[in-house]
Amino acid sequence: MKLVELVFPAMAVVLVLLGLVVTVKAEIYIVTVEGEPIISYKGGENGFEATAVESDEKLDTTSELVTSYASHLEKKHDMLLGMLFERGSYKKLYSYKHLINGFSVHLSPEQAETLRHTPGVKSVERDWKVRRLTTHTPQFLGLPTGVWPTGGGFDRAGEDIVIGFVDSGIYPHHPSFAAHHTDPYGPLPRYRGKCEIDPDTKRDFCNGKIIGAQHFAEAAKAAGAFNPAIDFASPLDGDGHGSHTAAIAAGNNGIPVRMHGHEFGKASGMAPRARIAVYKALYRLFGGFVADVVAAIDQAVHDGVDILSLSVGPNSPPATTKTTFLNPFDATLLAAVKAGVFVAQAGGNGGPFPKTLVSYSPWIATVAAAIDDRRYKNHLILGNGKILAGLGLSPSTHANQTYTMVAANDVLLDSSVMKYSPSDCQRPEVLNKNLVEGNILLCGYSFNFVVGTASIKKVSETAKALGAVGFVLAVESVSPGTKFDPVPVGVPGIVITDVSKSMDLIDYYNVSTPRDWTGRVKSFKAIGSIGDGLMPILHKSAPQVALFSARGPNIKDFSFQDADLLKPDILAPGSLIWAAWSPNGTDEPNYCGEGFAMISGTSMAAPHIAGIAALLKQKHPHWSPAAIKSALMTTTTKLDRAGRPLQAQQYSETEALKLVTATPFDYGSGHVNPRAALDPGLIFDAGYEDYLGFLCTTPGIDIHEIRNYTNKPCNNTMGHPSNLNTPSITVSHLVGSQTVTRTVTNVAEEETYVITARMQPAIAIETNPSAMTLKPGASRKFSVTLTTRRVTGTYSFGEITMKGSRGHKVVIPVVAMGYWR
């Protein structure tokens, strides 16, 4: 795996010359060995009794049985390494004991090869990188009126549910995580996570609301990527991302979002009373390493979290595992689900292109990102009467007053400052304050803003320092697909994002600004005023699938073969989400030093689902992770606020933005509807054995690979992966006709359901039976037959609707591509 380049290449050479050859060549490897992990050990080793749990059951990690077997596994890992290699020639980073049996180790490729051929070693994987997948939404989702009252109001929403965040840490002093203005949080003995002490302040990170806080950086340190000065060897968030995701899922209710003297509204988490458990494994500059992330997940499940929120995904496919579902990341999450933990993972930000998802497996809830109904717009009025639209979360210039406009390049102190890209307006010291004061400063939006070396926040600081009444940033050229987000600023300011409108501005400025023969301005005559951009406009066209949200179809291997499983699973808000930020966070240059940030990404969508899952877990404590996922998926909406089918942002032929009708590859089962999810009527349940069956029947998967990760022989009774009991049906290669089965379980009163199905014309669909009556707790099977009518070379979409006599409505998407026999 390529390590992050050191900042000074010359220094890297010195390291190579002075360091031992072994340390320079060493890499991080994740190794699995024979023998069961704690979660599936059924006894048989001398002196150690069984520790295995049934599917969806919590592990008692404090029991003597578990702790003694854990130390036995760790000793075996140490002995294996000690027998093979000289002390000092390797460094073991973690022993994995709970979910998988193995360890991560820093050693040379030659040593890794020795390990590969050692009896008792099952797999040796080189570590690969992961990255972050970078609030009005409670109201938009109907939580305060429709969901929180059923759980006892917002002050009880998520009570005693623990959400674990594998992310960049947390800023514990933020009001979103304060414990003092709510009812005191009592002890929660079933959660056994520890609280690290801040090495600087000597205070621990927990306060009752934050119930656990640990950090994992052994792999990052071994790889030489960790810098304690900015990465912090503690759970402290040095990035902002971790605080943001934790606040979306479980931040306190009614926290005022204040910036630059303006209140943008009140922020709240989805489950404001849920506890937060922090497992920091992501860092500012380099993202993270799978070995650290796996250690964090292993620890979180050991500690007893109920829900895991993962806004993280692999940078690229792992080098050695061919199967997407069996990389160490997903295999560890399979064991987490076996232990009864619900996992929400960001789908990835590689959209709008097909097959860009970085979350693959059926045991994970893969979340796509939607744009909600809040948009911010602003405008600039020119002296010639033209009104130019733009973006600017800013106050207006004084009403009924216009101001002179001065371009940064026309107010330089002298020509020697050209090397500082002065039109970016990042350095007040290169501009002439006497010419700027009291005027509107015009700046240019260059490539530096795209790469993050220039920021809108800095432009506003420059304008303020020079006494300007406001600023305008003109985008003169734009690479296709550039996304502009509104940024809150304390002075009137606007970004003109449309290149043709920027040209209107520049033409007006040039015509109105007389110059002498050298090009120097004789007098500034262009005038303008900036509108108020602080109030959001609420759109009926919401929700829409965000442009960046990764798309299906799902893949079963890293040669991009289509899987018989629909991904993403569900759509949730993920665009322009206000939430807590870490003041020392640098992930977003526009929010450096701020307490809140408004950012976008599937990273923001996943914690919405994690928080809503906490509300379901609170109401239905005995539901399995699959039952929770099913309730979320079968109750979604596929219509926008205006009652039209959901739209997805897409590129047109000219690479401008356009809207197209969305499909299940964009949104999965649809946009989350928390109120309906609390009472779904029927659920599609599944457990560990079912997921094993899915793996065993997926064509092309190496049976030995499955055994390596699950310690189980294959069972092919499922027949076809499409028969996995998921709340969606996908047949990627429908040859002629195929029948799949599903089993539903009634989680409400006795009810009769009428089953109907519809499909695009290339595929015929039939269901059997056409109706069924289920008593409370009863389960019934139904079958779905798909038949190719026409071969189109594209997927056909449809859905099955089960309408209940008591008003429940259960809908699952159907996706298939037909072939002739």
Residue 1 forms part of a structural domain: no
CATH, residue 433: 3.50.30.30
Residue 76 lies in a domain: yes
Q: Is 653 exposed, middle or buried (0-12, 13-18, 19+ CB in 10 A)?
A: exposed
Q: What is the pLDDT of residues 600-623, one digit of tens each?
A: 888 889 999 999 999 999 999 999
The reply to whether 145 and 52 lie within a common domain is no
| Catalytic residue selected from 241, 244, 302, 671 | 241
In a domain, 762, yes or no: yes
Indicate whether 318 and 431 sit together in one domain.
no
State whether 524 and 638 are in the same domain: no
Task: Write down the catalytic residue from 104, 359, 396, 603.
Answer: 603
Domain identity same for 157 and 198: yes
- What does the pLDDT read at residue 465? 94
Query: In 3D, which of 282, 43, 291 has the Cα closest to residue 165?
Result: 282
pLDDT tens figures, 284-306: 877 888 899 999 999 999 999 99
Is residue 805 annotated as a catalytic residue, yes or no? no
Identify the residue with better confidence: 212 or 11.
212
Residue 73 sits in the same domain as residue 143: no
Considering the domain architecture, whether residues 616 and 702 belong to the same structural domain is answered as: no
User: Does residue 4 fall inside a structural domain?
Assistant: no
Whether 227 maps to a domain, the answer reads: yes
Residue after which a domain boundary falls, among 482, 511, 534: 534
| Tokens (6 digits) for 595 | 């307490």
Percent pLDDT > 90 in the chain is: 51
CA distance 119 to 34: 9
Look at residue 697 and tell me whether its pLDDT is greater than 90. yes
Distances (CA, A) of 231 to 132, 221, 246, 298: 15, 11, 19, 22
Best-predicted range by mean pLDDT (224-233, 450-459, 589-598, 747-756): 747-756
Per-residue pLDDT at 17: 28
**In this structure, is residue 803 part of a structural domain?**
yes
In this structure, the answer to whether residues 150 and 276 fall within a common structural domain is: yes
- 556-582 per-position pLDDT tens digit: 877 788 999 999 999 999 888 878 888
172 and 77, same structural domain? no
The parent domain of residue 594 ranges over: 136-373+542-678
User: Between β-strands 493-496 and 527-530, what pairing exists: parallel, antiparallel or unpaired?
Assistant: unpaired
* CA distance readout (Å), 285 to 83, 345, 601: 37, 21, 18
Kindly report the backbone phi and psi dihedral angles of residue 69, in degrees, each rounded to the nearest multiple of 5, phi listed first.
-70, -35
Does residue 244 carry a catalytic annotation? no
Q: What is the pLDDT of residue 194?
A: 93
- The continuous run of DSSP H or E covering 599 comes out as strand 596-599
Q: What is the mean pLDDT of the chain?
A: 86
* CA–CA separation, 741 and 745 (whole Å): 14
Cβ–Cβ under 8 Å, residues 618 and 161: yes
pLDDT, tens digit (0-9, with 9 covering 90-100), for 381-396: 999 999 898 888 788 8
CB of 155 closer than 8 Å to CB of 183: yes
Q: 167-171, 684-688, 710-714, 797-801: which range is least confident on average?
A: 710-714
The answer, yes or no, to whether residue 208 has pLDDT greater than 50, is: yes
Query: Are residues 172 and 303 located together in one domain of the fold?
Result: yes
Mean pLDDT of 46-51: 84
Instruction: Kindly report the CATH number assigned to the domain that includes residue 656.
Output: 3.40.50.200
**Domains contained in the chain, number:** 5
- The pLDDT value recorded for residue 336 is 92
Mean pLDDT lowest for which of 252-266, 338-352, 563-577?
252-266
Are 381 and 499 found together in one domain? yes
Q: What is the pLDDT of residue 150?
A: 55
210: pLDDT confidence band, cut at 50, 70 and 90?
very high
Task: Return the pLDDT at 319.
Answer: 56
The highest-confidence range among 59-63, 238-242, 362-366, 576-580, by mean pLDDT, is: 362-366
Whether residue 9 lies inside any domain: the answer is no
Q: Which of 56, 160, 167, 231 is catalytic?
A: 167
Contact 685, 633 (CB under 8 A): no
**Three-state DSSP class for residue 211:** strand
Q: What local confidence, expressed as pLDDT, does residue 533 receive?
A: 76
Q: pLDDT class for 141, splitting at 50, 70, 90? A: low
Q: What is the mean pLDDT of residues 145-157?
A: 60
Task: Return the structure tokens found at 349.
Answer: 């930000």
Domain identity same for 67 and 165 = no
Same domain, 759 and 815: yes
Q: Residue 478 domain-assigned? A: yes
Based on the residue annotation, tell me whether 167 is a catalytic residue of this protein: yes
